[in-house]
């Protein structure tokens, strides 16, 4: 398994791609800068308090140590070069982020590593920091592919989901971004965290045209080896704080309605729905500390086998729910899961597992 790295995180580039990606959480906390950016205003650099970064790094190192103690072989990405950047694309530049939420920009399916097309400009360097590890897998016989790279120009984002979300949260209109000379239509965009892998079947969440186009690519690319099942708008993008498979026949789900969105054969699985998150389980932050995940983020657990699950120490209700259902819970400290957009599942990427892909849907 690879465990991400928080070293070198300094802040966020609040550009159009970042605002669209984090729209739902930013809107909830009343800090969404999209309209200004769409009108041509320059992106803003938003610092994260260095103490939070230090504590993040400490917690990620603890996660890596816990996995080693459970007998997992742990690999780490390259560090973010301190003098890296800026990244540039057609008509934009952005400050790169470290390879922290490595679940997002890579999808491992069977013997194949697929680099997925990032949705946030600052994240375009992350898979390069994993390249030495991917090279070793390649040399050992793995396939290694990258989906078509997106241009990420302002007008390359389909706004249909953003408009739907803004309307349901009572926010104002979402103006179209200005067209530019480097536009190439709606780019393919999809993160690995939009996919639940179940043996020979993949559940892929799509919420707008960028995702759907990427899902078309994935479906054609994997035809004959894996089956793609689409679910529409289970979430804005990532679903690994909404639905996770704990073992064949058992899901962990944010709420009961998740069941109805799944293909029929999976609706008969058991769904463990933990109690609502307790606000007392989280640190208190200032308005300047952007909250980039919902309070459900601790659902983002990491399974190492069919009974053992790594769970945030602070998530008391969730830990109890899993124990009641017969799982062995290994507590892991992860304080700032709302500031760095990810939990234990987001920070990890399983590359080699025991057993082979099985059939669960027939
Ligand atoms: N792979 C990830 N980065 N997943 C994080 C998903 C968090 C989800 N958007 C929420 O706010 O609850």
pTM summary value = 0.96
- Binding site membership of 103 for ligand 1 (Cβ less than 6 Å): yes
Q: Is the CB of 105 under 6 A from ligand 1?
A: no
Q: Which of 182, 187, 173, 207 is nearest to 34 (CA)?
A: 173
For ligand 1, say whether the CB of 22 is within 6 Å of any of its atoms.
no
- Pocket probe for ligand 1: among 105, 241, 276, 298, the residue whose CB has the most ligand atoms within 8 Å is 241
The alpha carbon of 353 and the centre of ligand 1 are apart by a number of angstroms equal to: 24
Ligand 1 atom closest to the Cα of residue 101 is 3
- Structure-token pair, residue 113: 């590593």
What do you get for the CA distance between the two ends of the chain, in Å?
A: 29
Give pLDDT tens digits for 64-110.
999 999 999 999 999 999 888 799 999 999 999 999 999 999 999 99
Q: What is the pLDDT of residues 301-318, one digit of tens each?
A: 999 999 999 999 999 999
- 153 has pLDDT over 90: yes
Whether ligand 1 lies within 6 angstroms of the CB of 341 is answered as yes
Question: What is each CA distance from 322 to 150, 247, 283, 299, 326, in whole angstroms?
Answer: 39, 12, 23, 11, 7
User: Which atom of ligand 1 is nearest to 237's Cα?
Assistant: 9
pLDDT above 80 for 30: no
Distance (Å) from CA 207 to ligand 1 centroid? 14
Q: Model confidence at 328, in pLDDT bands (50, 70, 90)?
A: very high
Residue 362 has pLDDT above 90, yes or no: no
Residues in Cβ contact with 122 at an 8 Å cutoff, skipping those fewer than 6 apart: 12, 13, 15, 17, 18, 87, 94, 95, 96, 97
- Cα–chain-centroid distance for residue 180? 29
**Beta carbons of 4 and 130 less than 8 angstroms apart:** no
Q: What are phi and psi of 105, to 5 degrees?
A: -100, 10
Task: Tell whether ligand 1 has an atom less than 6 A from the beta carbon of residue 116.
Answer: no
Ligand 1 atom, smallest distance to 104 CA: 1
How deeply is 261 buried, as exposed, middle or buried, from its count of CB atoms within 10 A (0-12, 13-18, 19+)? middle
With a threshold of 0.90, tell me whether the complex ipTM lies above it. yes
Distance CA 287, CA 273 (A): 30
- Asked whether 193 lines ligand 1 (CB < 6 A), one says yes
């Amino acid at each position: 398994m690879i465990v991400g790295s928080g070293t070198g995180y300094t802040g966020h580039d609040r550009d159009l791609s970042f605002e669209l990606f984090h729209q739902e959480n930013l809107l909830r906390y009343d800090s969404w800068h999209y309209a200004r950016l769409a009108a041509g205003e320059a992106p803003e650099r938003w610092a994260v308090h260095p103490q939070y970064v230090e504590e993040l790094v400490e917690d990620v190192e603890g996660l890596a140590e816990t996995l080693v103690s459970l007998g997992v072989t742990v690999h780490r990405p390259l560090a973010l070069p301190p003098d890296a950047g800026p990244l540039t694309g057609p008509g934009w530049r952005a400050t790169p982020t470290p390879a922290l939420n490595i679940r997002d920009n890579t999808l491992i399916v069977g013997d194949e590593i697929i680099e997925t097309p990032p949705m946030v400009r600052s994240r375009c360097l992350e898979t390069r920091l994993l390249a030495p590890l991917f090279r070793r897998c390649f040399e050992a016989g793995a396939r290694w592919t990258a989906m078509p790279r997106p241009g990420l120009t302002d007008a390359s984002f389909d706004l249909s989901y953003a408009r739907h979300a803004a309307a349901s949260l009572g926010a104002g209109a979402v103006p179209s971004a200005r067209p530019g000379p480097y536009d190439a239509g709606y780019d393919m965009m999809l993160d690995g965290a939009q996919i639940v892998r179940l043996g020979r079947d993949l559940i892929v969440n799509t919420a707008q045209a960028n995702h759907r186009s990427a899902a078309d690519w994935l479906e054609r690319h994997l035809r004959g080896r894996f089956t793609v099942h689409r679910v529409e708008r289970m979430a804005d993008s990532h679903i690994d704080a909404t639905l996770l498979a704990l073992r064949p026949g058992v899901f962990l789900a944010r709420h009961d309605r998740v069941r109805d969105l799944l293909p029929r054969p999976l609706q008969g699985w058991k769904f463990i729905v933990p109690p609502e998150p307790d606000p007392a389980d989280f640190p208190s932050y200032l308005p300047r500390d952007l909250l980039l995940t919902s309070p459900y983020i601790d659902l983002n657990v990491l399974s190492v086998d069919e009974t053992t699950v790594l769970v945030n120490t602070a998530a008391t209700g969730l830990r109890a729910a899993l124990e009641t259902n017969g799982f062995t819970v290994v507590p892991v400290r992860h304080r700032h899961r709302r500031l760095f957009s990810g939990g234990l599942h987001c920070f990890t990427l399983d590359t080699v597992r025991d057993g082979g892909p099985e059939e669960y849907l027939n």
